[in-house]
Amino acid sequence: MRRFVSIALAFVPLALFGAGCGSRDGVRDAGDAVRGLVRVDLSYTRTAGNQTVDPRFDAQARFIRYRSFDATSVPTILGFADFDGVPLDGCKVSDGTAELDSALAADTVAPTAEVALLDAGNLDLRGPIDRTTITPRHYPELVPFVSGVVYGGDDLSPVALGLGQPYAVSGDGGNEVGPFNATVVAPRSFPSLTVDVLHRGSDLDVRWSTDLLAGAEPLVLEARWTSRTGTRIVRCRVRDDGAFSIPHDAFADLPPAASLSTATVTAMRLSRAPFFAPGAGRGELTMALKDVAALQVTP
């Protein structure tokens, strides 16, 4: 079983699966470079070992224009997870509260800082069986320099799952983003995750069924726990070959089992496709099939 022997404590963006990011070439505003970040994320999530309940479907889309920010700060502020910065067969540990505090610290946010969530109009999502519309919603005014609209949420009608089938997202254009089309082919199977009990001081052994598809994306693993002291996340990006050991160093800050509010391990099998949204920039349409298992910890 493979094991990553060194663990890095790092500030990494809080986001699902790899971000699609691109700059708007030649655009300037008040002396600051204006950049774009485009994300359209589709996912199906199920409880590992339970195939009797339909997977939960989710769709999220963001069309972002920002300035006077570090490229990693915007995903952190908006709650994205970026796995592309994790080395293959490697892991990184994240403190969600500390990362957000750092991104919002007064000495790191310039007076000209701005994050605009752009209006792309209604989005059409077509699955292999049915379709739905993803409508924009006003983004809550959580911080003064972030404003605009976001896509997705609880009211989104589910789209039937089609393993290995194409999913297409298109927009006719809105006030700020022009028409676009993007298509991604869903992975052929869920990971079928199994997780051993975590013994303190030992590695955590994780296994799954392999896809064995040439050129497949690396599998993404995420161990997450919450307690009164906050949230910790261990993110790993590994070859999709069926087994990996998350090193014990990653769990150095894990509190006693009785103090844990939640503790889970998620395995995500991904597929991605690039596209261009006029007015926002280049991005990626991503489809993820997720298995979530409880992380059991010895006292």
Give residue 13's pLDDT.
32
Confidence check: pLDDT of 201 > 90:
yes
For residue 88, what is the DSSP state? B
CA–CA gap between residue 97 and residue 82 (Å, rounded): 16
Q: Where are the alpha helices (DSSP H) in the chain?
A: 73-78, 96-103
- What's the mean pLDDT in 158-168? 94
Q: Strand 194-195 vs strand 219-227: parallel, antiparallel, or unpaired?
A: unpaired
Whether residue 19 is predicted with pLDDT greater than 60 in this model: the reply is no
pTM of the model as a whole: 0.83
Q: What single-letter amino acid sits at 26?
A: G
What length is written for the chain? 299
Between 101 and 66, whose confidence is greater? 66
User: Band of the pLDDT at 100, cuts 50, 70, 90?
Assistant: low
Question: Residue 285: pLDDT band by 50, 70, 90 thresholds?
Answer: very high
Q: Residue 154's pLDDT band (boundaries 50, 70, 90)? A: low
Which pLDDT score is estimated for 221?
A: 97
Q: Which residue has the tokens 């600051």?
A: 32
pLDDT at 50: 83
* Gap between the Cα atoms of 209 and 242, Å rounded: 5
**pLDDT level of residue 69 (50, 70, 90 thresholds):** low
Is it the case that residue 223 has pLDDT exceeding 90?
A: yes
* Whether pLDDT at 18 is above 70: no
Residue 93 neighbours by CB distance under 10 Å: 19
Structural domain spans, the chain: 8-294
As a whole number, the mean pLDDT across the chain is 83
What are the residue ranges of helices labelled H in 166-246?
Answer: none
